[in-house]
Structure 1
């Protein structure tokens, strides 16, 4: 199999290079990879699903562009290189053992560009092994000088339109790299969000004791502070005033635009039992709590036991030891579903025994969410809904009570790829993309309303992202990338330089022949916007390049993972809207689910991955492809399990053997017309599923559906493999599966003596002349009857001597039609009894109506629809198949009408479900 793959990879070389043509185009793109490690099967799914769609559209007669490039800007490879140069054992082990980098190559990884070169070549090779139908002429890396000129042009426009502004904002920052970092720069915590806390300032003598909170309105209910007695705090002058905070907090505050000078240590034990005060809560004691994390907030926590489950249970634990009995919760928020003290209610209802119970986190979120969404402060505290009071109280505390703001992440550990810890820092003179601009946001909402989004439910997530998106730090001081044109001390960060590269793909192969210095902004203005008269490149060349861009653009669909909705996928909409006219805006996006390995999330850093090339070596490229696109729909999470992949390989082997056996079949059989009709249905269903990006459903129809039809076809034949109709089926079947398993299908196409490559063969089209609803319905009746007989035979202890099949009378078919066409199934008996003949039948009609109602609800809706549209003579169908039935069950089979049979079971005969009497 692998030799066959090698030969076809060579045969496909240059085959998928796409140029403008006199036919409809289809341009799809997928997020380009960052080549800093080997591809795993999760990457495989990301690129194979778009390839299946590209191959389908190509066979549909469209001119298809599927390009690829490599994203190398930013600091990830620099961080990796530094860790390897510093002898980091974990990193070296990852690259030597998991990624299988030869030692002589690994030794060169102290140069970041060696990492880029090695893995971009490996990605290209593995993608080719996967059979991806990519136009490799357009390949580039994001530090190519021509690409940098393109980025400079983009940012010139963004700056001129005031979408890039200078300001001070909190950002993720790596002190070790001395650089702001984005999600792609992180080894851990790539989903961390920056959260704004209010520091509530309690007084202890001359010092301020800050407590970070997301719920400043609860300050009215503070009964005490919590301090960790095992922590040594510091007294520090912060912006000229003395604060008591943890050492970790002091360092974080230093990064957040504060002048911090540590003066002396303060043991946590020195604070226990002291009294602090705040105008909104009065004097409160400081109590010990080992659960207080010095690395979270200020390292000191205010306690609101009436409304915070952790505070309630911690205080209860101390009071059960006979301590602090004089402290009682203070109720300040009323919320439906809870009593005076919501925290107490929640803890006791859940049966929580102590503060270490893992259910406490969920319980806390439930109470906080309920109070925020439905809670209202008591009248003595203002009487406002919590959602309004929260911001109002925060503003008041900042204005009147010495409060200030501190930023933290919503998770504990955020680690840069260099290995250093990431903090929140306030950066000044930093360049930001002003995604907070309301007018820009409105344009993106309008754009989303016009786009095709798959699945449709992600539309709400895109709209939410646009709403909460804040200004984005788009530059760094260090790293690989393009320098900011008007401020070259800064480098454009990686998520910000990868927003409209889909446009660059359309012309990338042309720009390789033009020296970078000639690619002035005027050149790109002409190519992309049709403006100006550049002089550095001749007009004929520019017209040809612009013509190619206009042929392909806008892109039809972009494929990417759902975790990129919060950044890249939304960013690219902002940038397209800012740069390009309305008729060149993105048309659609398909959002992928995540990949699991044996039920656990894939993670290269944790070693929980199965390398894509290893999978191809073990199972073959087509097996990998078929499993990845067939185990779940693209937007669903998939779970790679080797035992399931092995069964996929056996399925492909069955397909191969079936084609090789059937390709030369001759003659005719009575069941041929049914197989021809079923094939037309499979072609139509597969096509519909593919057009909706339902690759799993398409594979169910194109593989398992046809395989099931063939199984029944052969079962119905008196003997032998079948008629010449199988030749037509083989040619259609191979083409239907070609987008999924192209290596197998190219080889089989050659055995079938098909013209050219199956990759460019015409997609099968339904031949309506071969569609025969009557014969399909007849065989469905027969199949269902056989299955019912088999079920009964398995249950009876004796060997059957004969089988009688009793078909329903015409009046029951009338009831079936009434039941099936009545929308309200609770009214069917009433509808049936409107008929005079049915009224004469009395109880028999009402009982039958109820039985048929159950039957209609049990039948697939499509079958019910067929039964309403198509009439068959059930007795004639079963009589015509009586020899087949007798052979199947090795007993005589008689077909009777209910009127002919005197058996008690005859009354149970229903439409499309004959009564079965086994003697």
Structure 2
């Protein structure tokens, strides 16, 4: 097949270059452009192949499709990679040499980050072409192209003018090694880490301050003790001129958060044990030992509230069971429905927690915290307010009167920069932020979300949640590749912030390549995108042509991207579209992908758990890879790549090829042909419906496995020695087109072989021919097929060789009962409805027994089949009698068909509508 692949790629070279055609309906879909810092793996393959399948489908439906691609190279990731390679980092060098198989002479040049970009952007394009992606490559760009930078400058000029970009001081993710704030795309680990604001509750001891970080300042009234890890060496430090005791790690973190910190001496944790500390709101409390205290979390010293914190409760219980600190008792201060006076104790004892090392402690802690926050109230003597109100009030009181300050931490995640250095939270000053916290801007985005189509629909809640909690976003960096901030060029716009409206840039990017970047002034983009102004650096005829193309394609119809980007890129681009473009140019829809697994484990290039896409194509063929990635799960579901399953996919394509090739010789006409033609119309209808709903897996199920199942029955029903009638040729011309979006290389070759005109990629999508649909014929074959299956099931259970088969079809009165039962809206009252029928009433117990069996059958059959039976005038006896020769050939014994109502055989009474009684002797 590889020869066919090369031939197809040559035929497709310029086939998918899409220029506006005013007479045709456009369809513009985009997918998140890749960051080419390493080789593509099969997870990338799914990301780009699924949109390609849908682009190909839409082309065949007659729409004019734009499917562009570019490469995202801004930011610091490639800089970090080049530094590690330059420093001889063995892991990085090994990754690029061994996994990505970069030739040594090229790897030697990777000390220049632009060489990494150059190499992998070309490799991505080459592999995408090998996969058959129907991309308009004329529009390709990289995000450091000078023309693209001019587009970003125009965008940010708008955002700044409209006060969506503001200057201020905010906590951000920061890499001290790079001396730069970092975004999620800059990280090796912890890309989903959130910055959490803690309150430092400051206790006093011997003239020094001992701070404890908490998310629950309202629980200060219930503190019984502090926890210190006796195995940790703490430090005494001057913090903003005051003497503090805390962990060395905490001192370093506070130094990044607007505090002047100088460490003066070390203090063993054992020195602090059994000391007494005090706070005005809790009084004097002792310091107790606890090895669970992490010096790298908060300040390394923890305040203990055993009435409301399961960890504190069980740690104190463990000590008291050793006969220590037995005078300490939990101090309850919050009442919450579902728990007793001491919620932490209730939760621990109900869960049967043994000790503080029990793996269920984390979940239990979250359960109690959530319950208290959502429906808890502090006791009357502490104000009687809901916890959610008391928390903020007490924090404000501590800040105002008791020396508390905020401290920022990540939510229990290790965050590592691509340079390999650890990332911390830093307060940045004079930084530029996108003001996503602006409530008016948020409301505009929410309104737009309501107008959009989101696939699957359940992601809407995640988008709404993201819009609600999204805070101001640091949009600039000091170092990295990218566009300089136009009004403050000492800053560079960071990667997630320069990739928000590039979908609009695609529509005109191929035109801009011919224009010197210095001529692309903000006025030029203002005219192109808004039709305003009178720019002079580009001639009006060119500008009008470029604007006309933008107006033809925009807005995009659907954008495809991974679900983990809802929390940043996918939501950011909605904010930016609302800020820059009028309503007519707002996005129409988004499809959100699931994640990729390899043999059940999450794919990760940095951990080496990947299977390279090019290797997959070389080993299995492009169409096999495409068919597996499309068919293993719906786009929004996680998929699992397993080589053994991919191998079976290749065999399926071979069967398809052989069937279509052999069908060229089919001729003649047979009774069963009408059934196959009718079934084919159903497959066309259901495949089309699936594609329209982005259900690519379901489309494949119908277009391949459904048709194949129909063919299996069709061949079985043909006379012995006959391969098929002329209907097979019609089926194959339709079948090739149904599968062309999914396995285009195979279908392109077959389309040519069977005399199809032009490229299969542009062949008209099959339309349902209503005149060829025959519900009665389909229902008759359904009855026969189910009867054959029932006979086969019985034969498996009997040890003897059969001598004859008798089929008893249900009498008319049972069909009447079936109609009554199937039409009933309340199956619990159906017996009453049966007995209201005079004919049934006369049959008495016979009718009630039959009604029970028919009710079970109706509930078991697919609802659509029940509906078809109700609407039909099927003569079951005539159908089975007409198929008697087929049945005798199948089972090699005489077959008789009788009306059960006219038979005295004991088993004849078991005949039901659409389920004959079967007697094998």
TM-score normalised by L of structure 1? 0.99
1:42 aligned residue: 43
* SS of aligned partner of 1:457: helix
2:410 is the counterpart of 1:409: yes
Whether contact under 8 Å (1:216, 1:390) holds in the other structure is yes
Structure 1 Cα separation of the partners of residues 664 and 391 of structure 2? 74
Deviation (angstroms), 1:331: 1.7
* SS of aligned partner of 1:244: strand
Over residues 405-453 of structure 1, what are the superposed CA-to-partner deviations in whole Å (9 max), with x where a residue is unaligned? 0000013310111111100011111111111111111111110000000
2:663 aligned residue: 662
2:730 aligned residue: 728
Structure 1 Cα separation of the partners of residues 505 and 878 of structure 2? 65
1:870 aligned residue: 872
1:762 aligned residue: 764
Structure 2 Cα separation of the partners of residues 373 and 82 of structure 1? 48
Deviation (angstroms), 1:338: 2.2
Question: What are the residue-to-residue correspondences of 1:845-860 with 2, within 5 Å?
Answer: 845-860=847-862
* SS of aligned partner of 2:902: coil
Tell me which moved more, 753-762 or 671-680. 753-762
**Of residues 886, 896, 899 in structure 2, which corresponds to 1:897?**
899
Deviation (angstroms), 1:844: 2.3
Tell me which moved more, 706-715 or 827-836. 827-836
Structure 1 Cα separation of the partners of residues 858 and 377 of structure 2? 51
2:682 aligned residue: 681
Tell me which moved more, 493-502 or 818-827. 818-827
1:488 aligned residue: 489
* SS of aligned partner of 2:203: strand
Deviation (angstroms), 1:837: 2.1
**Of residues 809, 812, 819 in structure 2, which corresponds to 1:810?**
812
2:12 aligned residue: 12
2:655 is the counterpart of 1:641: no
* SS of aligned partner of 2:160: helix
Question: What are the residue-to-residue correspondences of 1:291-370 with 2, within 5 Å?
Answer: 291-370=292-371
Question: What are the residue-to-residue correspondences of 1:294-693 with 2, within 5 Å?
Answer: 294-693=295-694
Structure 2 Cα separation of the partners of residues 392 and 888 of structure 1? 82
Deviation (angstroms), 1:372: 1.7
Over residues 246-274 of structure 1, what are the superposed CA-to-partner deviations in whole Å (9 max), with x where a residue is unaligned? 11101110111112122222221111110
Tell me which moved more, 901-910 or 516-525. 901-910
Deviation (angstroms), 1:839: 2.1
Query: Which runs of no fewer than 5 residues in structure 1 stay unpaired?
Result: none
Structure 2 Cα separation of the partners of residues 409 and 774 of structure 1? 65
Structure 2 Cα separation of the partners of residues 636 and 871 of structure 1? 42
Structure 1 Cα separation of the partners of residues 602 and 394 of structure 2? 41
Over residues 322-351 of structure 1, what are the superposed CA-to-partner deviations in whole Å (9 max), with x where a residue is unaligned? 211111112222222222222222222222
2:202 is the counterpart of 1:230: no
Structure 1 Cα separation of the partners of residues 784 and 280 of structure 2? 84
2:39 is the counterpart of 1:29: no
Structure 2 Cα separation of the partners of residues 904 and 376 of structure 1? 73
Deviation (angstroms), 1:765: 0.6
Structure 2 Cα separation of the partners of residues 120 and 419 of structure 1? 23
Deviation (angstroms), 1:7: 2.1
Give runs of ≥4 in structure 1 deviating > 4 Å.
none
Deviation (angstroms), 1:700: 0.3
Structure 2 Cα separation of the partners of residues 196 and 671 of structure 1? 72
Deviation (angstroms), 1:847: 2.3
Whether contact under 8 Å (1:273, 1:286) holds in the other structure is yes
1:795 aligned residue: 797
Structure 2 Cα separation of the partners of residues 124 and 411 of structure 1? 39
Deviation (angstroms), 1:662: 1.4
Whether contact under 8 Å (1:189, 1:411) holds in the other structure is no
Deviation (angstroms), 1:628: 0.4
Structure 2 Cα separation of the partners of residues 254 and 108 of structure 1? 38
Query: Which runs of no fewer than 5 residues in structure 2 stay unpaired?
Result: none
1:842 aligned residue: 844
* SS of aligned partner of 1:495: helix
Deviation (angstroms), 1:664: 2.2
2:903 is the counterpart of 1:884: no
Structure 2 Cα separation of the partners of residues 842 and 398 of structure 1? 84
Structure 2 Cα separation of the partners of residues 590 and 139 of structure 1? 22
Over residues 843-890 of structure 1, what are the superposed CA-to-partner deviations in whole Å (9 max), with x where a residue is unaligned? 222222222221111111221121122221111111100110111111
Structure 1 Cα separation of the partners of residues 751 and 46 of structure 2? 25
Tell me which moved more, 409-418 or 126-135. 409-418
Deviation (angstroms), 1:579: 0.6
2:136 is the counterpart of 1:135: yes
Question: What are the residue-to-residue correspondences of 1:76-115 with 2, within 5 Å?
Answer: 76-115=77-116
Whether contact under 8 Å (1:54, 1:64) holds in the other structure is yes
2:261 is the counterpart of 1:260: yes
Structure 2 Cα separation of the partners of residues 94 and 218 of structure 1? 49
Deviation (angstroms), 1:4: 2.0
Question: Over the residues paired in the alignment, what is the CA RMSD in angstroms?
Answer: 1.1
Give the length in aligned residue pairs. Answer: 919
Whether contact under 8 Å (1:148, 1:481) holds in the other structure is yes
Over residues 177-227 of structure 1, what are the superposed CA-to-partner deviations in whole Å (9 max), with x where a residue is unaligned? 111100000011001000011111111121111111111111111111111
Over residues 601-632 of structure 1, what are the superposed CA-to-partner deviations in whole Å (9 max), with x where a residue is unaligned? 11111111111111111111111100001000
Over residues 262-298 of structure 1, what are the superposed CA-to-partner deviations in whole Å (9 max), with x where a residue is unaligned? 2222221111110011122211111111111111100
Structure 1 Cα separation of the partners of residues 335 and 145 of structure 2? 61
Tell me which moved more, 537-546 or 825-834. 825-834
2:743 aligned residue: 741
Structure 1 Cα separation of the partners of residues 591 and 754 of structure 2? 35
TM-score normalised by L of structure 2? 0.99
Whether contact under 8 Å (1:596, 1:640) holds in the other structure is yes
Deviation (angstroms), 1:356: 1.7
2:280 aligned residue: 279
